[in-house]
Structure 1
Amino acid sequence: MNKIFHFTKRPMNQFTKLALEMGPLILFFTINATTNNLMTATATFVAATVVALVVSFVIARTIPVMPLIGGAFVIVFGGLTLYLDNDLFIKIKPTIVNLLFASILFGGLLAGKLFLKLVLESAFKATDEGWRILTWRWSLFFVVLAVVNEIVWRNFSTDTWVAFKVWGIMPLTMLFGMAQVPILMKHQLPEEEGGSTAA
């Protein structure tokens, strides 16, 4: 259930996965820094995102939900930025994506569903209480990211915003994810009980 498309899944090493996720962002930063042209950087970002999604599918024969949603938003908002020649759309994209993720997680909690569990249960086995705690934390974290993005793009230069998007948001997300490991360990299920709980 945690895949949009699923054929015969193939393993993908973590380095390749990270390169496919970070590659378009790094190109976005590099092109913007070298050309001082956000439109050229955005066009590169959109093209690189499409290539990364295609390569990910070719290698793993599957596309995880979050990269697919993020990629779709890059294509839509990047396309609007280029078509309308207005950088507002690419700048508000992180705000909208993070609020969307937060809304989905919050909505799931209100409906008694643990969507985070559906996405990550193949990698981690934890009690529903553990998933509930993680869902609240990630929901709030996504809201914080949305607020911070709004503060940065509205109050600082485009170059500063691009740098923060590449070198700020991703490291913050990785650090936050690592900080959640103790909760996963505390609520971890034994292997034989991994499929016994239901969302």
Structure 2
Amino acid sequence: MSDERPINPILKQVLELGPTLVFFLIYLRIRDETYAWNGTEYSGFIVATLVFVPILLAAMGILWALTRRLSRMQVFTAFMVVFFGGLTAWFNDERFFKMKTTIIYGIFAAILGIGLAQGRSYLQWIMGELLPMRREGWMILTRRLTALFAALAVANEVIWRTQSTDLWVKIETFAFPAVLFVFLWLQIVGLQKYLIEDGSAGKG
């Protein structure tokens, strides 16, 4: 977008990743606690979830105020966090927040898969300005990322249903983002021959 403002990359990373790390630290601090409100007891996990929601929204608000831009993925993820965080609190059931990750990855895989079935790369529509690349490269990256999102959705579902909350929180906070980062880095390196030097990407 033409009105996007520059921002210090370190500050940008803090605003994007900070809320999740804060959630992790709060959870570690209160995970063994139980809190009563209006006659209902809430676990430390649920309280940490409730604290995480406004922190995430505040960080996104600051990011938008500084850059005048939020990606579609950021907006969608924030909506899902608010929605499933609300369900978690309303039903006093941590399973809703854990399922959020499965649904987010599953929806990403489904959306990209629908585009592939149409012979298109929706990923190029989202990230084309950030990574100028020929259509062939976008189609390869989209197929691979679709498979990764589907695998992460399945992995999250297996993990939260079979493992402890402690392990799930650690995997959610560190392992899944690390897998995505390493995957995307390897793809960018491997797809160098499809990159467009002059910054003009073909239509997908």
- In the alignment, does 2:112 pair up with 1:117? no
User: What stretches of structure 2 of length at least 5 have no aligned partner?
Assistant: 32-43
Judge conservation of contact 2:23–2:51 (CA < 8 Å) in 1: yes
Paired position in structure 2 for 1:128? 135
Q: Give the % identical residues.
A: 32
Residues 1:80 and 2:75 are matched in the alignment: no
CA contact (8 A) 1:114 1:131 kept: yes
Q: Map 1:27-66 onto structure 2 (within 5 A).
A: 27-36=22-31, 37-66=44-73
Deviations 1:176-198 (A, max 9, x none): 11110123311112307x24x21
Q: 2:6 aligns with which of 2, 5, 11?
A: 11
TM-score for the superposition, normalised by structure 1: 0.92
Q: 2:30 corresponds to which letter in structure 1? A: T
What is the deviation of 1:148? 1.1
Distance 1:146 1:56 in 2: 28
| Offset at residue 43 of structure 1 (A) | 0.7
Cα distance in structure 2, aligned partners of 1:13 and 1:73 = 27
The Cα offsets for residues 123-177 of structure 1, whole Å up to 9 and x where unpaired, read as 2111111000000010001011111111211111111111110011111111111
Contact 2:120 2:139 in 1 (8 A): no
* One-letter identity of the residue aligned with 2:4: K
* Distance in 1 of aligned mates of 2:123 and 2:7: 21
Structure 2 match to 1:152: 159
Aligned partner of 1:174: which letter?
Answer: F
Q: Which has the larger radius of gyration?
A: 2
Output the TM-score relative to the length of structure 2: 0.90
The reply on whether 1:24 has 2:19 as its aligned counterpart is yes
Write out the 4+ residue segments of structure 1 that deviate beyond 2 Å after TM superposition.
Answer: none
The CA distance in 1 between the partners of 2:62 and 2:178, in whole Å, is 24
What is the DSSP-based 3-state SS (H/G/I as helix, E as strand, rest coil) of the residue aligned with 2:7? coil
| 1:171 and 2:178 aligned | yes
Moved more, 85-94 or 11-20: 11-20
Q: Distance in 2 between matches of 1:121 and 1:63?
A: 15
How far apart are residue 12 of structure 1 and its match? 2.1
One-letter amino acid of the counterpart of residue 10, structure 1: R
- Report Cα offsets for 1:33-74 as digits up to 9, x if no partner: 100110111011111111111111101011111111111100
Comparing 139-148 with 8-17, greater Cα deviation is found at 8-17
Contact 2:77 2:104 in 1 (8 A): yes
1:98-140 C-alpha deviation (Å, 9 max, x unpaired): 0100111010111222111111111211111100000001000
Amino acid at match of 1:93: K
Pairing partner for 2:197 from 183, 190, 195:
190
Shift of 1:7: 7.5
Runs of 5+ unmatched residues, structure 1: 1-5
SS in 2 for 1:112: coil
